[in-house]
Amino acid sequence: MNAVVTDTRRTPGVTVQPVPIGAVWIGDGFWRGWLDRLYDVTLPAQHAQCEATGRLDNIRRVSGRVDAPFRGRYYDESDVYKWLEAASWALAGREDRRLRAQVDALVDDIAAAQQPDGYLHTYFALERADQRYTDLINKHELYCAGHLIQAGIAHHRATGAETLLHVAVRLADHIRAEFGPDARETADGHPEIELALVELARETGQRVYAEQARFFLEQRGRQPPRLGGYRYLQDHEPAAEQQEIAGHAVRAVYLACGLADAGLELEDGAMWEAAERLWRSAYETKVYVTGGLGAHWAGESFGDAFDLPNRNSYAESCAAVAGVMWNWRLLAGTGEARYADWMETTLYNGMLAGLSLDGQHYFYPNPLSASAGHARVEWFECACCPPNLARLLASLPGYLYGVSERALWVHQFMAGRVDADVPGAGRLSLEVDTDYPWAGEIRLAVRHAPEDPVELRLRVPGWCDAASVEAVPANSSPAPSPLEGEGWGEGVPRHARDLPAGAYTALHRVWSPGDQITLRLPMPPRRLVSDPRVTANVGRVALARGPLVYCVESHDRPGLEQDAFALPDDAAVASGPVDERLPGMTLLDTTAVPLPGTPERGALYQSVSGDGRAHGAATDRVAIRAIPYFAWANRGPSTMDVWLRRWEAASG
């Protein structure tokens, strides 16, 4: 089936087009385990939660199939639609009879609940029918509609069935009749309908849905205000004129995704430029090192530029998912590697931390410093994050590769295979063997190739300073000491070193089955420091290796109070032995300098020596271990820190 997540293949001006989920198989390796748990644990458990909490009965009661009162919050059905989208993408990747049966039953229930005029919202459909669209700031009717439309599109692309797509079209037509220059002139308090309508235009070929999305986007920043003029709701300025990412983080990023979608599909330069401008605001001044977005618990919102607290950071899991979606759209429009870099950072860190290793416990906020009381739970009263994480994981194969005229792009590195239809050339099939992110060698073998030349574009991540690529033709052996620049075809060096970081490197030739390409991305442990304007991280350092950000839990610094130690600049950092509770993971071992502990001394403030040090010396060191940030809080209660106090060599 034609299961692409964001179908820009016929969109004007797009640089990189998507490769369908069904054309990609993620093989044994890091992500295979997460996807297997998605099928076996995560999706079944989420469906059971939707059943147990009344979310499914809320749909059935509208059609008369269940006689029960409404349960939960007015936007709870959005969780069902996100689960349905996730399940649909999952079916595009692998047939699962149990999952298919659950999807079919749910689609039937939703279709039966749709009102004669196309309206569908379980909170307002019956006893509150006279209150439709009376509180778009808070009640999320259009937000829920957007997720239903996206589920309908995913279901159609994954299965070929049209029932849910017809529901989505009828709902979209109802919305078009209710909102517009000759009807209600307003916007949605929580953006989402905009993305859905643009994608529906792509799915149906009907431009009117994209124009309706533009109508909603253009309602922001009007006078009189449509949403109170609130910055929190991105209503303080016209959407296409906004300079700074602000307000509720998930709403702001969904709005930016809508601007990018409308900008591409409608060739609206102002909206596209706004999406890029807001990206610079977010990813140059307001993003966490993990890819997390949204600094403040109060309002789940962005703060000012460089305002990135660690202990009180919010970094909602939904915002990480939205960040991947946003970067994907900008990558499609530009082909710039920086967007794929941030997708990678977010996937391995800010997003993945939201889901436990057992596949059924979740974080809502993802702080970068936490007490032992911060733990994942099975579900939330406001359960937006669990199915959002599921739909990103289920659609993951669709984010790995791209194509353009006579070119195949490798955005992310995962073991498996891809069978891509390259425009202007034909089918190019690759097998990928790698232990990424634990090891930086990516081996690609050509299994089928067209007769015409194809450019293979490999991303060199921005974190990698000494990347190299080696290409070996079929039925050949590598030379014992291949020379840099030694070639076997135009544009294909036998061995090229020191490739530019943060860019795509291109290999261009007529490929043959059996050709092999090896991309080597050295990944020694490295230290990270912040822009000094991030005051929370002044005098602190973080550890990273490859695409992974690391943290230190209390399990791995015995006898040291949280934040009562410092990492010397000259302390060696090396890969440590495996922890059986974190199987298969590369951990980092180093040493730290204990700092004076105020609880024992009973003094909140104390004198220091002339060189600025209180107690201890750089030689008084203790062993500590760092683990990947995504894996924290999986070994029982623990405190955690990403940013560690730094013992600078000059003062040590």
Active site residues: 300, 384
Place of tokens 């950092």: 573
Cα 488 from chain centre: 38
Q: Distance between CA atoms of 455 and 508, rounded to whole angstroms?
A: 4
Q: DSSP letters of 95-112?
A: --HHHHHHHHHHHHHHHH
Contact assessment for residue 415 and residue 433, using Cβ atoms and an 8 Å cutoff? yes
Contact assessment for residue 355 and residue 629, using Cβ atoms and an 8 Å cutoff? no
362 beta partners? 355, 377
459 beta partners? 504
Strand order, beta sheet including 407-410? 17-18, 401-404, 407-410, 454-460, 503-509
Which residues touch 593 (CB under 8 Å, ≥6 apart)? 565, 566, 567, 568, 616, 617, 618, 620, 621, 647, 652
Secondary structure of residue 445 in the 3-state scheme = strand
420 beta partners? 428
Backbone torsions φ then ψ of 217, nearest 5 degrees: -60, -40
Q: Distance between CA atoms of 506 and 476, rounded to whole angstroms?
A: 21
- Beta strand 565-568 with 644-647 is parallel
Q: Distance between CA atoms of 422 and 405, rounded to whole angstroms?
A: 7
Q: Distance between CA atoms of 92 and 539, rounded to whole angstroms?
A: 48
Strand order, beta sheet including 467-472? 24-26, 416-422, 426-434, 441-448, 516-520, 467-472, 495-499
Element (H, E) at 507: strand 503-509
- Rounded to 5°, the CA angle 534-260-262 comes to 150
587 beta partners? 576
